Amino acid sequence: MKILVCISNVPDTTTKVKFVDDLRKLDVNGIQWVINPWDELALTRALELKEDASNAVQMVTVAHVGPASAEPTIRKALAIGADDAIRVNTDPEDAFVVAAQLAEVLKADPYDIVLCGIESSDHNGSTVGGMLAEMLEYPSVSCVSSLRIENGQPVVSREIDGGKETVSVPAPFVAVVQKGIAKEPRIAAMRGIMSARTKPIRVFEPKAIDGLTGVTGYEMPKPRAACKYVDADNAGQLIELLQNEARVF
Amino acid sequence: MSVLVFLENWDGKFKKLSFELVSYASKLAGMLGEEVVALSIGQVDTAELEKPALYGASKIISIEDGNLKSVDEQAYTALIAGTATQLGAGVVILSNNNNGKSLAPRLSVRLKAGIASGVSRLPVSVSPFVVYKKVYSGKAFSNVEIKTPVKILTLAQNSFELIENPKPAVIEKSTAQADAQLMKTRVTEVEKQTGKILLTDADIVVSGGRGMRSADNWGPLLEMAELLGAATACSRPVSDEGWRPHGEHTGQTGKIIAPNLYFAIGISGAIQHLAGISSSKYIVAINTDKDAPIFEAAQYGIVGDALKVLPKLVEKLREVKSK
């Protein structure tokens, strides 16, 4: 069995985002780029599955759609333990282009399990995994919080509103994964970092694919009104303010 | 042309979020000069099917195939796409919840329709079709232009008011069925929590952080939630420590919520936590550290020890609620 983990290259969570070009482009100055947090958890789970020989996972590959500047992030995934990597060499216009470029690669080189994070922490779209599944005509399960292989058959837990379902799904399929899929993201060890240097990154040139959407500009949130403080000794006054001023109950 | 809304039901009932979707669709249909059609998949009785008309749906289509009890993403997509195509729908609207996130991207490919997810406002303009949405986990917003003839929107939960706009309803029972060829997933077990207010549905959420100091101190917080009819939540360190269940973790990697009122009790407000709660209408912060970032996000604050402040709030609430 082969597992593909799709990874997004995003600004570190603590980044204070700023925009340039009349609020049309992200100011990349000083940004530290990381593997999207959910994708990192997906990679961790893929590696755990591979390490248990009974699962018969031979290969964990990471795939990314982006320019060469993303290679440090891809190397990080290799250092964490992926066997090899795929990069489609284009700066994608939107999520549809990302999914379509990945679909082109996967049609020529199929994987049994494709993992995508539930969203990327930049555009918060939650779309690439489902789009990719539809393009490949694979079944998909989203909001997946656990994945195991039972007698060669993938079994997942899916979060539903107010509960959880256990779902068995035939490979090949796409799992869109979220919190719970792995406990903690795995951190690269020195040996992994050394061996990552020589692991292959297969670079594909993009197919001509147009996006369906485009960002016309960004806006910063309006500052909230200053906090109104209530004295701790007189905490009950807070309830009065919420009731009579904010009128929230 | 029409605006198509996908309605989920929970054990045969629509929830508030379904009517938020119809309210939104109704306003959007007004901008476009079109009608709202709602699609329900699953077993829902006629009295319930009439409810979307209260918020402006002119037609409600119900697909009741018994094989559709749980969501198979491929089979559901085919049915929604089939309905959208048949109607010539220009816009398809789903919730940005678990099922919406599962279905909207597949629909986007099926219908060759650009998608904007997690929107909370009506489009900035309809020609070109531009919508405003949260990006960078709430640290900024973007205006997204959808360039395709058909558009898909997923609406952030609790972000749009219910607006009554009663219409005479036509209810159409559809004989459409799930395509057995597409039903490849099989649900083998379902666990549902009952009798508790769902975190993602709650109007008020009472949430505790490390400032609660141990799993044993949660009593007053739970009592406060009970008095307010609120759901309970927690920050990531709390669920990691096992003081509270993982399902209560709100934040970037946990649940993202937008209640009317959010109590952050003993939560410092790390950027990852704020990413999950910053769309709340009112945030109340209680923390010993006056410089904690949560106070920058909050409208009301108390600088003090959560364990000393909570009993006072509970006492006052009991008094208020007994009146």
For the cut 80, the answer to whether the pLDDT of residue A5 exceeds it is yes
Q: Number of structural domains, chain B?
A: 2
Do B7 and B121 lie in a common domain? yes
The residue out of B157, B174, B191 marking a domain boundary is B174
Closest C-alpha to A129, from A1, A4, A6: A6
Q: Which residues of A touch B190 (CB under 8 A)?
A: 160, 163-166
Residues of B within 8 A of A228 (CB-CB) are 299-301
Chain B residue whose CA is closest to A166: B189
CB A163 within 8 A of CB A157: no
Domain identity same for B110 and B48 = yes
Q: B220 and B162 in one domain?
A: no
Q: Find the CB nearest B145 among A213, A218, A246.
A: A213
| Whether residue B152 is found in the same domain as residue B226 | no
Range(s) of the domain holding residue B295: 204-322
Considering the domain boundaries, does residue B117 fall inside one?
A: yes
ipTM, 2 dp: 0.95
Residue A107, pLDDT > 90, answer yes
The values of phi and psi at residue B54, to 5°, are -60, -25
What is the average pLDDT score of chain A? 96
> HSE on the CB side for A83, CA within 13 Å?
12
CB–CB contact A217 B108 (8 Å): no
Same domain (yes/no): B102, B227: no
Residue B145 lies in a domain: yes
pLDDT of residue B193: 78
Looking up tokens 């995934």 gives: A77
CB-side neighbour CA atoms (13 Å) of B125 = 7
Instruction: Determine whether the interchain pair A218/B143 forms a contact, defined as Cβ–Cβ distance below 8 Å.
Output: yes
- Residue B71, in any domain of the structure: yes
Based on the fold, state whether residues B233 and B163 are members of the same structural domain.
Answer: no
Contacts of A134 in chain B (CB under 8 A): 74, 77, 105-106, 108-110
Picking from A184, A231, A238, the residue whose alpha carbon sits closest to that of residue A41 is A184
- Across the interface, whether the CB atoms of B190 and A164 are under 8 A apart is answered yes
Which residue from A52, A6, A38, A41 is spatially nearest to A148, judged by alpha carbons?
A52
Alpha-carbon gap: B30 to the closest alpha carbon of chain A (Å): 23
* CATH code for position B15: 3.40.50.620
Question: How many pairs of residues across A and B have Cβ atoms under 8 Å apart?
Answer: 270
Residues B149 and B266 in one domain: no
pLDDT of A165 reads 96
For B211, the token pair is 């400032």
pLDDT value of residue A122: 95
Residue B227: inside a domain: yes
Assign residue B240 the CATH number of its domain: 3.40.50.1220
Give the model confidence (pLDDT) of A38-63 as tens digits: 999 999 999 999 999 999 999 999 99
Task: Give yes or no: residues B270 and B138 share one domain.
Answer: no
Mutate to test the interface with B, among A165, A213, A248 (most CBs of B within 10 A): A213
Sheet containing A2-6: which strands, arranged edge to edge? Answer: A201-204, A84-88, A59-65, A2-6, A113-117, A173-177, A140-150, A153-160, A163-168, B186-192
Give pLDDT, residue A32: 97
Residues B309, B170 share a domain: no
Which candidate from A158, A162, A170 shows the least CB-CB separation from B184? A170
Q: What is the DSSP letter of B223?
A: H
Asked whether the beta carbons of A58 and A149 are under 8 A apart, the reply is no
Query: Does residue B157 sit in the same domain as residue B91?
Result: yes
Please check whether residue B198 lies inside any domain of the structure. no
Per-residue pLDDT of chain B in tens (323 residues, 90 and over written 9):
899 999 999 989 998 999 999 999 999 999 999 999 999 999 999 999 999 999 999 999 999 998 998 999 999 999 999 999 999 999 999 999 999 999 999 999 999 999 999 999 999 999 999 999 999 999 999 999 999 999 999 999 999 999 999 999 899 999 999 999 999 999 999 998 777 788 988 999 999 999 999 999 999 999 999 999 999 999 999 999 999 998 899 998 889 999 999 999 999 999 999 999 999 999 999 999 999 999 999 999 999 999 999 999 999 999 998 88
Q: Closest Cα partner for A110 from A128, A77, A135?
A: A135
Locate the domains of chain A by residue range. 2-218
Topology given in CATH for the domain delimited by A2-218: Rossmann fold (3.40.50)
